[in-house]
Amino acid sequence: MNSKQISYKILLVLFFLQLTTALPTIDPRAEEVKKAFKHAWDGYSKYAYGHDEIQPLSNGVSDSRNGWGASIFDGLDTMIIMGLEDDYNRGLDHIQKVNWTVTNAPSKTFETNIRYLGGLLSAYDLKGDLTLLQKAVELADKVIMPSFDTPNRMPAAFVDVENQRPAKGNIITLAEFGSLQLELVRLSQLTGNLKYERAGNHILEKISRVPSRVPGLYPMIWDLETFTPRSTYITISGGADSYYEYLLKTHILMEGKERLQLDMWNSAVGSMRRYLRSETHFGKVYLAEIEKNYKLMRSGELVCFMPGNLLLGAAYLKDRKIGRFAFELMESCYDTWAHSPTGLAPETWSWIDKSQNLAVFPENMRKSMLTTGFVAQDTGYDLRPETVESLFYFYRMTGDKTYQDKAWNIFQAIEKYCKTSAGYTRISDVMNLNNVGSLDFEESYFFAETLKYLYLIFSDPNYISLDEYVFNTEAHPFKLKTPIHVQARTFS
């Protein structure tokens, strides 16, 4: 080797050294989450490819979401984010062939919107394959938009896809008609066709004109024909949840131009603090429910998206009061995991409010309040993401790494109690260390949400930054036209 060759070699080494030091260090925990995704995806690919879900105990299949391969649509952007190129390409092949006018049952508008349309738009935002946008437009035109073909232009809960018209039935939940707008707005932004955005936002205008007993909060069950609430039951849980979530997110996605939805969000949050906030004798804070004139001390894992949504709003609006509320809810949500014997939170729980006399409650309830801080009701765990989702927001917006450690605890509990040879399954009893009761079902949102949030919380914070993306309710990130400033500047 002559001296010239030696100096080239040194330069090359220095160049690569610089390259390696310039790359962010990879947290080994992100790699573990990626391995979990791969394990689950390989099981699904082997036994259930093209079906909506795998049954990961029996290696059977299930088609609960139109039979178009929901796991593929839901998992596609996670594959892009994790750099799983081969799995992505195979997914794209499948997507190209899906026929939107054939289903095994009427299509549920809300689920089709958040999982299929949301998945396509997000994968398109991340990767730019035109097929994805074309399929999204087709899906919107053939399935989502026909749901609006009702006398008052409100979306029907189900669509008969073969005939492209609403399926019969008038009863619909707040979340089902009140959280279609984020996907429709993004589709309008990407295509330049405003008809989607108009249809989505029109619903919110209609809701804002309906009087409510509790300002900003609406009952869960509605009659579509009269467009009036059919019950007095108010909750932030399933059936209502994403309605509140999307008010803020749509305002952000629309670069602050959609003022009404931000006002509706602010009013809803004000009422959550005033009427739903409940504190226990031991300082835990939960979001209660309302039925008639009663406050029900009942909540659950599904509600645990709210701390993250509140913190996003608090950072965006620079509102300290909302921030404090977010923190107390985050802590109590996480504690339902930390204080359960398996480290997994129950689906629902109740509690005793500090205004109530502890002594009048049964011994077992008092004991449970003292030891765990809640009383488990539905003891199942459905591989849900909400607490991990909020931890992700908290980590990204505070820079506090203890949120990563909490997410890691949750991941380890999932690994321990939900893993099967072909994936991960829902279980029936998180409170029973001896028998968690595996149930043989893996929801597509496990690929879309749970594993994505877990992966991102251990990734470089600038990767899919909250300053640049807004996540739909199924954890599909949509690119913001104008960045916002909500992420922390330092992480420690």
Which residues contact ligand DMJ (rule: CB under 6 A)?
Answer: 241-242, 302, 384-385, 445, 473-474
Cβ 472 to ligand DMJ shortest distance, Å:
9
According to the annotation, is 473 in a ligand binding site?
yes
Q: Which of 52, 77, 125, 241 is catalytic?
A: 241
Is 241 annotated as catalytic? yes
Q: Which of 52, 125, 289, 347 is catalytic?
A: 347
Q: Which helix (H) or strand (E) covers residue 300, if one does?
A: strand 298-300
Alpha-carbon gap, residue 418 to 401, rounded angstroms: 26
DSSP 115: I
Phi, psi at 351, each rounded to 5°:
-160, 175
Pairing of strands 53-55, 277-279: unpaired
Using Cβ positions, the residue closest to ligand DMJ within the complex turns out to be: 473
Beta carbon nearer to ligand DMJ, 286 or 445: 445
Burial (CB count within 10 angstroms: exposed 0-12, middle 13-18, buried 19+), residue 365 = middle
Q: Which of 27, 32, 63, 111 is catalytic?
A: 111
The dihedral sign for the CA sequence 153, 154, 159, 160: negative
Cβ 443 to ligand DMJ shortest distance, Å:
7
Please give the torsion angle defined by the CA atoms of residues 198, 203, 206 and 208, in that order, rounded to the nearest 10 degrees. Answer: -110
Cβ 10 to ligand DMJ shortest distance, Å:
53
Cβ 385 to ligand DMJ shortest distance, Å:
6
| Angle at alpha carbon of residue 116, lines to 115 and 121, rounded to 5° | 100
Instruction: Kindly report the number of other CB atoms within 10 A of residue 419's CB atom.
Output: 16
Cβ 302 to ligand DMJ shortest distance, Å:
6
Cβ 57 to ligand DMJ shortest distance, Å:
20
- Alpha-carbon separation of residue 9 from 20, 21, 23, 362 (angstroms): 16, 18, 21, 77
Q: Which of 386, 442, 443, 474 is catalytic?
A: 386
Please, what's the b/e burial string for 217-239 (b: 16 or more CB within 10 A of its CB; e: otherwise)?
A: bbbbbbebeebebbeebbbbbbb
Beta carbon nearer to ligand DMJ, 272 or 302: 302
Burial (CB count within 10 angstroms: exposed 0-12, middle 13-18, buried 19+), residue 18 = exposed
Beta carbon nearer to ligand DMJ, 368 or 390: 390
Burial (CB count within 10 angstroms: exposed 0-12, middle 13-18, buried 19+), residue 47 = middle
Cβ 297 to ligand DMJ shortest distance, Å:
22
Alpha-carbon gap, residue 139 to 149, rounded angstroms: 15
| Angle at alpha carbon of residue 322, lines to 316 and 328, rounded to 5° | 125
Is 331 annotated as catalytic? no
DSSP string for residues in 393-455: HHHHHH--THHHHHHHHHHHHHHHHHEETTEE--BS-TT-SS---B-----THIIIIIHHHHH
Cβ 382 to ligand DMJ shortest distance, Å:
7
Is 111 annotated as catalytic? yes
Beta carbon nearer to ligand DMJ, 201 or 444: 444
Is 225 annotated as catalytic? no
Q: Which long-range contacts (CB under 8 A, 24 or more apart) does 125-134 make?
A: 125/186, 125/190, 125/469, 125/477, 125/478, 125/479, 126/77, 126/80, 126/81, 126/477, 127/80, 127/88, 129/92, 131/92, 131/95, 131/96, 132/92, 132/95, 133/190, 133/191
In the numeric block, which tokens belong to residue 360?
């009048």
Annotated binding residues for Ca(2+), written as ranges, equal: 473
Residues forming the active site: 111, 241, 347, 386
